[in-house]
Amino acid sequence: MSEKPLVAVAMSGGVDSSVAAALLVQQGYRVVGITLQIWQESQTDPRHAGCCSLGAVVDARRVARILGIPHYVLNFREKFAQTVIADFITEYRRGRTPNPCVQCNRYVKFDAFLQKADEVGAQFIATGHYARIQYDEKSGRWLLLKAVSREKDQSYVLFPMTQAQLSRTLFPLGDLPSKTETRTLAKQLGLPVADKPDSQEICFVAEAGGYRQFLLNRVPDSVRPGEIRDVHGNVLGRHPGIAFFTIGQRRGLGISGHKEPLYVVDIDVENNVVIVGTEEHLYCRRFLVEDVNWIAVDRLAKPLAVEARIRYNMPEAPATILPTESATCVEVEFAQPQRAITPGQAAVFYRGDVVVGGGTISRRLEVTGWKG
């Protein structure tokens, strides 16, 4: 009987990647665990550590020892800084709201990590993401599908994956019905991370003040005070810097005395102005998406009906994507206006469980819109 191929598993020290490695071992694969050290947090306590800390390394090593697989720690700090963190800073300076998890998947977990897997002779890589991959004989393309667990589905942040990456990636957790099942398996296997909480924060932002303090510490010259205006151009107040605001934000505006609640509805980067309006001004139907990566199709030749998702924790809504002069830019038109379409966030297009493709929201084609 031929030996199963070698799989390099990205082990973050959390329960998901640990169970992913364990399932592959059970299935007879030869497995090597690799922890990507991408950022050094000040927090080193394994009980509370994020996916990039010393505590995460310790937990991953303990799991690898229990599973009887080799474990290595690779320094990806420079790559992470040059791609994910640089993009994070650039996007906020542009008045946009970035998604660092998408960029980490794009540049680190399914690019640089795959290159390292080649160096150790691994045929496949695997992660603890909740998603599925299938090969479609009819189209000759690898497909990215939602996970069986709708609650944990992470296909939204995986849309940058290329055909080459999909063909060499395994998602062992994609068919599990829930996160509860993952933790149950971890307990049955005696893994010490079975009850470890999920990391909720941006992994490289350790400052007490969150991402705002992070930006102040690293790019203080980019944070300039400016005006807050309403949609009619009236000056209502001052802001400390456009990087501290995002579309849909209500708190922290420092504006009072209005009958209706005010929200950030737009950011004018050129004039350093935060624009606010009422709830109805948050709604928009049409917008542009750039840097589109196609998965289920090679390109978009004509308008296509899809379900589009514009934030991680939200359902898809019916939409039509329309080609533009650029193969990597599309216009999206929702059937019904959607709230707080935010430049910098991902827009991912689905047909049922299948990811058609996705990209980054560039700009709205309507400055304001109306609900209903």
For residue 252, the enclosing domain spans 224-277
Same domain, 106 and 125: yes
pTM for the whole structure: 0.92
| Residue 215 included in any domain | no
Same domain, 53 and 172: yes
Q: Token pair of 356, please?
A: 């058609």
Same domain, 329 and 243: no
pLDDT at 258: 80
Same domain, 240 and 124: no
In the listed set 162, 188, 214, which residue is the last one of a domain according to the structure?
188
CATH number of the domain bearing residue 233: 2.30.30.280
pLDDT at 313: 86
Question: Does residue 193 contact residue 139 with C-beta atoms inside 8 Å?
Answer: no
The active-site residue, picked from 51, 104, 284, 329, is 104
| Residue 55 included in any domain | yes
CATH number of the domain bearing residue 73: 3.40.50.620
Same domain, 320 and 236: no
Distance (Å, whole) CA 183 – CA 194: 5
pLDDT at 367: 57
User: Which 8-state DSSP code applies to residue 325?
Assistant: S
| Residue 214 included in any domain | no
Domain count, the chain: 3
Distance (Å, whole) CA 332 – CA 350: 13
Same domain, 290 and 273: no
pLDDT at 53: 64
Distance (Å, whole) CA 131 – CA 170: 9
| Residue 219 included in any domain | no
pLDDT at 257: 75
Same domain, 261 and 290: no
Centroid of chain to Cα 77: 19
Q: Establish whether 329 is a catalytic residue.
A: no
Pairing of the two strands 71-75 and 30-37: parallel
Best CA proximity match to 23, nearest among 67, 88, 82 = 67
CATH number of the domain bearing residue 339: 2.40.30.10
| Residue 194 included in any domain | no
Same domain, 70 and 165: yes
Same domain, 344 and 247: no
| Residue 130 included in any domain | yes
| Residue 211 included in any domain | no
Q: How far apart are the first and last CA of the chain?
A: 62
Q: Which residues of the chain have pLDDT under 50?
A: 40, 42-49, 369-372
| Residue 183 included in any domain | yes
Q: Establish whether 203 is a catalytic residue.
A: yes
Q: Token pair of 127, please?
A: 């992660």
Same domain, 265 and 312: no
The active-site residue, picked from 51, 52, 101, 203, is 203
In the listed set 234, 251, 277, which residue is the last one of a domain according to the structure?
277
Best CA proximity match to 131, nearest among 103, 111, 161 = 161
